[in-house]
Amino acid sequence: MSTDEEFMLHALQLAKRGFGHVAPNPAVGAVIVANNGRVIGEGWHERFGGLHAERNAFAHCTDDTTGATLYVTLEPCCHWGKTPPCTDIIIEKKIGRVVVGSMDPNPLVAGKGVQLLREAGIEVVTGVCKQACDDVNRPFFHFITHKRPYVILKYAMTLDGKIATRTGASKWITGEEARFRVHQDRNRYSAVCVGVGTVRADDPRLTCRIEGGTNPLRVIVDSHLSTSLDSTLVRTAADVRTLIATCEASEEARAPFVAAGVEVARLPGADGRVDIDALLDYLGAKGIDSMIVEGGATLAASFLEGGFVDEVNAYIAPKIFGGEGAKGPVAGQGVSDPGQAYRFGAPFIVQLGSDVMLRAYADRGAEGGDN
Residues 6+ apart with CB under 8 A from 1: none
Cβ atoms within 10 Å of 99's Cβ, excluding its own: 24
DSSP 82: S
The rounded distance, in Å, linking the Cα atoms of 332 and 300 is 9
- Report how far residue 361's alpha carbon sits from residue 354's, in angstroms, rounded to the nearest whole number: 23
Amino acid at 356: V
* Gap between the Cα atoms of 98 and 130, Å rounded: 14
Distance, CA of 267 to chain centre:
23
Q: Tell me which of 42, 54, 75, 248 is the catalytic residue.
A: 54
CA distances from 236 to 197, 225, 239, 261 (A): 19, 17, 6, 8
Q: Contact 233/218 with Cβ under 8 angstroms?
A: yes
Instruction: Respond yes or no on whether the N-terminal peptide bond of residue 256 is cis (omega within 30° of 0).
Output: no
Active site residue 54: yes
DSSP conformation class of 43: E
Instruction: For residue 211, count other CB atoms closer than 10 A to its CB.
Output: 5
Type of residue at 169: A
Q: Determine the Cα–Cα distance for residues 147 and 140; give it in Å rounded to an integer.
A: 10
Concatenate the DSSP letters of all residues of 118-187 into one string. HHTT-EEE--TTHHHHHHHTHHHHHHHHHSS-EEEEEEEEETTS-SS-TT---TTSS-HHHHHHHHHHHH
Active site residues: 54
